[in-house]
Amino acid sequence: MSAITAYIGLGSNLGDPAANLHSAIAQLAGADGVALRGVSRFYVSKPMGPQDQPDYVNAVICVQTRLDAHALLQTLFAVERAHGRVRDASQRWGARTLDLDLLLYGDQVIATPDLHVPHTGIGERSFVLLPLADLAPRQVFPDGRTLHACLQALACDDLQPLS
């Protein structure tokens, strides 16, 4: 299998969120079949869903991988578990030590029970789009929408770069 460019969203709002992201990035960079190609700036954002939780720190990384999308997803889950994440379907949009999302996997569209690529809602989430723009400002999504057009449709005033 030839290498595929993939983008992964990272988020954390428990413990030391920036340290959690740095640790996850290091772990992913050392994973078999994954080569780190870029890291966005870190951004502070308000949580999706319940507002009675701490703000998030979000980022996006670019990797080259020889793993298929499902194997890469399993790698992401392993990194989350290593950071104390317990996936609980009843806790959607709750506070978490680490959240890793496979945003894009080449130009593929994947719809299986456990994986949707591009990630659901990618074009409506400023905490994904702004960091993605740091790495791939000319990105065109598989449905033909451009990152630029999606960003123009959002205020993006809910994010602040982490100093």
- Choose, from 87, 92, 99, 107, the residue flagged as catalytic: 99
User: CA 145 to CA 70: how far, in whole Å?
Assistant: 24
- Is 85 a catalytic site residue? yes
- How would you write the pLDDT of the chain (163 residues) with one tens digit per residue? 789 999 999 999 999 999 999 999 999 999 999 999 999 999 999 988 777 789 999 999 999 999 999 999 999 999 999 998 776 655 666 678 899 999 999 999 999 999 999 998 899 999 999 999 999 999 999 999 999 999 999 988 888 999 7
Q: How many domains does the chain have?
A: 1
- Choose, from 16, 37, 68, 85, the residue flagged as catalytic: 85
- Is 87 a catalytic site residue? no
- Is 101 a catalytic site residue? yes
- Choose, from 16, 92, 96, 107, the residue flagged as catalytic: 96
- The angle, 0 to 180 degrees and rounded to 10, between the axes of the packed helices 69-82 and 17-29 is 140
Is 121 in contact with 48 (CB distance < 8 Å)? Answer: no
The CATH code of the domain that includes 14 is 3.30.70.560
- Give the global pTM: 0.94
Backbone angles phi, psi at 103, to 5 degrees: -85, -50
Distance of CA 143 to the CA centre of its chain: 19
Q: Which domain holds residue 75?
A: 4-161
